[in-house]
């Protein structure tokens, strides 16, 4: 299945049915009076986060979503049938943006979450509503309200606990394949990964989700390479895993490139907890490992882990460090949510 994380859709809610202008015409009923029924309400357009989807590819082939119009009212005070609602079923983690691609209408981060995108028009009143003592035969009825037309953008941000960042060929896909059941494409050339991959990683009877995104290069925020097109998928992550290729001859420059791109992208990525790893240590001897680790720690001003995704050396230590960062971030979020509930005004 092709991966698609951004698409444009056109929606329209249903128009309400018109009210009816009708009069009773029955034998032996001399003054029947008005009996025009109301029009039915138009259908609404909803969006719902459902299970089993991880791409927006369905909306590439169906961009127009129109709800059903309400039926017009009829005589004998019969109300028209209401139009059926229509539901856009999207993956969990989908943002719904207005036409300007900036205004966030909804962020569906939980399974079963549902939001109204366009309400259907109300049905019009029939002439039975306009009967008065001075106007006993009204020939007036209301038209139904028109539906709402909207142009929206759907943007998918994968729900993951850890996001992998690094230059192309830094070993991100190899790490994901070695620690989970995911099988991303691995090859010895840049940009082997063309779309994000998810894998479930386990350590010490605890599981968390890791997202592998295409590699970044210098100038990615300006659109070079694959650009920062997929960085949105790590915005929700609790921690970032920064892999640095130990076999590269420009180790510090590689590290600086990724940090600068994260800063240029914004969205709080540079402030997220980050684990820095010197990868591919199976190609280095002990002296080279110690020297490069010290160089990288001086630049990162934090601990640097040694790892080889191919041989598995150092992988458990890295996973335990990630687990600790994820648990700390989840605890912090629970505390913030608890303080927000305490600060909220009491409502009877």
132 annotated to a ligand binding site? no
193 annotated to a ligand binding site? yes
Contact 77, 57 (CB under 8 A): no
168 annotated to a ligand binding site? yes
- Pairing status of strand 274-279 against strand 239-245: parallel
179 annotated to a ligand binding site? no
281 annotated to a ligand binding site? yes
Q: Is 149 helix (H, G, I), strand (E, B) or coil?
A: strand
212 annotated to a ligand binding site? yes
CB-based burial of residue 348 (10 Å sphere; 0-12 exposed, 13-18 middle, 19+ buried)? Answer: exposed
Contact 24, 78 (CB under 8 A): no
> Which of these, 36, 37, 129, 123, lies nearest to 82 by C-alpha position?
123
Contact 94, 65 (CB under 8 A): no
Distances (CA, A) of 177 to 10, 291, 309, 330: 39, 28, 9, 26
Q: Is 28 left (phi over 0), alpha (psi -120 to 50) or beta?
A: left
> Which of these, 79, 80, 8, 87, lies nearest to 44 by C-alpha position?
87
192 annotated to a ligand binding site? yes
169 annotated to a ligand binding site? yes
72 annotated to a ligand binding site? no
196 annotated to a ligand binding site? no
CA distance linking residue 319 with residue 204, whole number of Å? 9
Partner residues linked to 313 by β-bridges: none
Q: Rounded to 5 degrees, what are φ and ψ at 115?
A: -140, 145
Cα R_g (the chain), whole angstroms: 29
DSSP state of 81: P
308 annotated to a ligand binding site? yes
310 annotated to a ligand binding site? yes
214 annotated to a ligand binding site? yes
CA distance linking residue 96 with residue 152, whole number of Å? 7
280 annotated to a ligand binding site? yes
173 annotated to a ligand binding site? yes
50-83: burial string, b at 16+ Cβ within 10 Å, e else:
beebbbbeebeeeeebbbbbbbbbbbebbbbebb
Token readout for 210 is 């890791």
166 annotated to a ligand binding site? yes
Residues belonging to the binding site for GTP are 166-173, 191-195, 212-215, 279-282, 308-310
Residues belonging to the binding site for Mg(2+) are 173, 193
Residues belonging to the binding site are 166-173, 191-195, 212-215, 279-282, 308-310
């Amino acid at each position: 299945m092709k991966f698609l994380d951004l698409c444009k859709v056109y929606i329209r809610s249903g128009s309400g049915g018109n009210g009816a202008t009708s009069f009773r015409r029955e034998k032996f009923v001399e003054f029947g009076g008005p009996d025009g029924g109301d029009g039915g309400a138009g259908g609404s357009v909803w969006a719902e986060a459902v299970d089993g989807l991880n791409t927006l590819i369905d909306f590439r082939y169906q961009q127009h979503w129109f709800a059903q119009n309400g039926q017009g009212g009829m005589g004998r005070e019969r109300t028209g049938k209401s139009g059926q609602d229509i539901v856009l079923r999207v993956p969990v983690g989908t943002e719904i943006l207005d036409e300007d691609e900036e205004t966030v209408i909804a962020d569906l981060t939980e399974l079963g979450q549902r939001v109204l995108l366009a309400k259907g028009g109300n049905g019009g009143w029939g002439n039975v509503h306009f009967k008065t003592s001075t106007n006993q035969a009204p020939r007036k009825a209301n038209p139904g309200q028109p539906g709402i037309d909207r142009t929206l953008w759907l943007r998918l941000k994968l729900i993951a606990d850890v996001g992998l960042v690094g230059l192309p060929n830094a070993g991100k896909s190899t790490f994901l394949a070695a620690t989970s059941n995911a099988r991303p494409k691995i090859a010895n050339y840049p940009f082997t990964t063309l779309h994000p991959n998810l894998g479930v990683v386990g350590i010490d009877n605890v599981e968390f989700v890791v997202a592998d995104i295409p590699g970044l290069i210098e100038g990615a925020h300006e659109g070079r390479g694959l650009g920062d097109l997929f960085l949105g998928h790590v915005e929700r992550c609790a921690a970032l895993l920064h892999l640095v290729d130990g076999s590269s001859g420009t180790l510090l420059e590689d590290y600086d490139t990724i940090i600068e791109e994260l800063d240029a992208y914004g969205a709080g990525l540079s402030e997220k907890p980050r684990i820095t790893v010197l990868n591919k240590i199976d190609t280095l001897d002990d002296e080279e490992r110690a020297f490069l680790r010290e160089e990288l720690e001086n630049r990162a001003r934090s601990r640097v882990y040694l790892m080889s995704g191919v041989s598995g050396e150092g992988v458990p230590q890295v996973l335990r460090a990630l687990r600790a960062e994820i648990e700390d971030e989840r605890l912090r979020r629970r505390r913030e949510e608890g303080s927000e509930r305490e600060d909220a005004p009491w409502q009877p």
